[in-house]
Chains A and B, each alone.
Chain A
Amino acid sequence: MMKILVCISNVPDTTTKITFTDNNTQFNTTGVQFILNPYDEIALSRAIELTEGSGGSVTVINVGEVNTEPTIRKALAIGATDAVRVNAKPHDAWFVAYQIAQYVKANPFDLILTGRESIDYNGSKVAGMLGELLDLPSVSIIKKLDLEGTQATVEREIEGGKEILTIPLPFVAGTAEGVAEPKIPNMRGIMSARTKPLTAVEPAEVKTSSEIISYETPAPRGQVKLISADGAAKLIELLHTEAKII
């Protein structure tokens, strides 16, 4: 029976205005709503589709402190079977991947899915690192995932097109739009999420290799220069003489 692991991260809602505190060294979480990373939602939705009706299971794993539990419960409400939380601050992608790899070494899975990237730090790194740590193939960004027995067919995005690959289970893949429509939790899901198993485990010790020192926000643009609706020629001239880009 198919066992799938979905790695989920807890990220600021997509409408969040990003600001920083402490001399631009800390992300300002005041008033910020945290959500299940949208790409992870896609991974989870596909995992549920792939196991539905076949008696398989979908475990979600998160590396995070106790405040991520509402997001984990959301994943359970969407339809995950059970959940694991590695009780630690997700220091960087390496730290996260290392913790998940430790868990997988003790509890093997047939398929490991991540989102294509987390929308906060956008590393696209966890999937590849997991692949390397577990000596499994990894595909960083997939748009389609189909299974036939123990053989998967995936579509990977490339510049200006796609590659179609076949990969035997087990492997790691980072999913993007197209893989599945995000599932919305229903009432039964929300009710049952409260009682589904959510286990917290302590992290393994590991040396980290990167550290965020500070943040910067993009330089604000000057005032917009408005051109009248019939000023197309004027716009082209400005792009040529002033902006010097055409």
Chain B
Amino acid sequence: MPVLIYTENTSGKFKKSIFEVVSYARAIADKNSTTLTAISIGNVSNDELAALGKYGANKVLNVAGDKLKNFVNQAYASIIAEAAKKEGADIVVLSNTFSGRGLAPRLGVKLEAGVADGAVALPKQDGGKFTVKKTAFSGKAFAVVELTSANKVIALIPNSYKVVETGGTAQVEDFSVETKESDFRAMLKEIVRSTDKVLLPDAEIVVSGGRGLKGPENWGMIEELAGLLGAATACSKPVSDAGWRPHSEHVGQTGIAISPNLYIAIGISGAIQHLAGVSSSKVIVVINKDAEAPFFKVADYGIVGDAFEVVPKLIAAVKEYKA
């Protein structure tokens, strides 16, 4: 039985997190000596679809049409579940994006499947048990969950599995499903996208500021450093609560959980709720004037110093390094 993946597109293009899903699902398919089918919904070019083969997809089911151009949770879930049934897929994998998190539970119910959301590693299939490691307690721990149902749904956290290029092109087929009118009750009115900077959930490097930066007027240097590093910017909760930065930048237990390759925390104390959302970053750098700040305990590199002196030096050093 093939593995099915839902490959979510952003304005007609696939992001790296989707290639991670393809690579991840390819590894599962190999382990089970089966094929990998992708389903794409919305208007994506044939070249973009065929390129999924590069990461190991054998076949792509393409569901196009204006009515489905934008994400409609209920309708998309119906289509993906239909595809899983038609293909006879017993494992469905998608990315743990905002939309993916909306789809996974609906798919779980439709397919009578156990759902492993927030997966961070390949499933283990030993002795008839199918287990997946997932985040729990807001990033403070992991849980190993066994999916005991015949069908399984897995939502993979971005940046937790490496993209592997296997080479090859996928065969693209048109796929259509009869949709119910009632699946379209939620109606999209408008999409508001932030500027063209690097997006926090996609970022490999994140530069983050806390209350130690004193006020919104001091974010210029944070943005400059982030710009130089190709990084996204983030902040602690009090910073967004005070309106210095938008809520969408707030990371931590009650904000976004991120796992970039590099997290640079500037003027952030390292409260347990903040750490919850960032502790799975691969490398952590902390800049804080207080040597006793708890953040240093979980950092890989630290500079004890005043951000207003250290950050400009860091900016100069990055410029030099790039030159």
Contacts and interface: CB of A to CB of B under 8 A. Distances in A.
Given A38-B254, A213-B145, A225 B102 contact: no
A133 B73 CA distance: 14
B114 A94 contact: yes
B108 interface: yes
B302 A124 contact: no
Contact of B321 (A139, A164, A240): A240
B314 interface: yes
A191 interface: no
Nearest to A211: B146
A159 B201 contact: yes
Interface in B124-143: 129, 131, 133, 135-138, 140-143
A137 B204 CA distance: 34
B170 interface: no
Interface stretch (A11-19, A58-66, A68-76, A193-201): A11-19
A227 B199 CA distance: 29
Contacts of A153: 189
A128 B103 contact: yes
Given A160-B193, A224-B297, A238-B301, A218 B105 contact: no
Interface in B72-114: 73-74, 77, 97-99, 101-106, 108-110, 112-114
Contacts, number: 282
B286 A246 contact: no
B74 A218 contact: no
Interface stretch (A46-54, A104-112, A166-174): A166-174
Contacts of A124: 101, 105, 117
Contacts of A119: 137-138, 253-254
B109 A133 contact: yes
Interface residues of A, number: 83
Main SS class of interface, B: mixed
Interface stretch (B26-34, B42-50, B212-220, B272-280): B272-280
A243 interface: yes
Main SS class of interface, A: mixed
Nearest to B73: A138
A165 B185 CA distance: 10
A107 B190 CA distance: 34
Given A212-B143, A224-B302, A238-B301, A159 B199 contact: yes
A137 B72 CA distance: 9
Contact of A125 (B108, B141, B185, B310): B108
A231 to B, nearest CB: 7
A131 B194 CA distance: 29
B202 interface: yes
Interface in A194-242: 208-218, 221-222, 224-233, 235-240
A1 interface: no
Contacts of A213: 129, 131, 144-146
Interface in B210-265: 229, 247-248, 250, 253-255, 261-262
B98 A210 contact: no
Contacts of B99: 158
Given A160-B194, A221-B298, A226-B304, A128 B105 contact: yes
By Cβ-Cβ distance, the 3 closest A-B pairs, closest first, are: A128-B105, A229-B305, A209-B114
24 contacts: A92-B114, A123-B115, A123-B118, A127-B105, A129-B106, A131-B105, A131-B106, A138-B74, A143-B247, A159-B199, A160-B200, A160-B248, A167-B186, A167-B187, A210-B146, A214-B143, A216-B144, A217-B141, A225-B300, A228-B303, A228-B305, A229-B303, A229-B309, A243-B301
Interface of B: 10, 70-71, 73-74, 77, 97-99, 101-106, 108-110, 112-118, 129, 131, 133, 135-138, 140-149, 182, 185-194, 199-202, 204-205, 229, 247-248, 250, 253-255, 261-262, 272-273, 276, 279-280, 282-286, 296-306, 309-310, 313-314, 316-318, 320-321
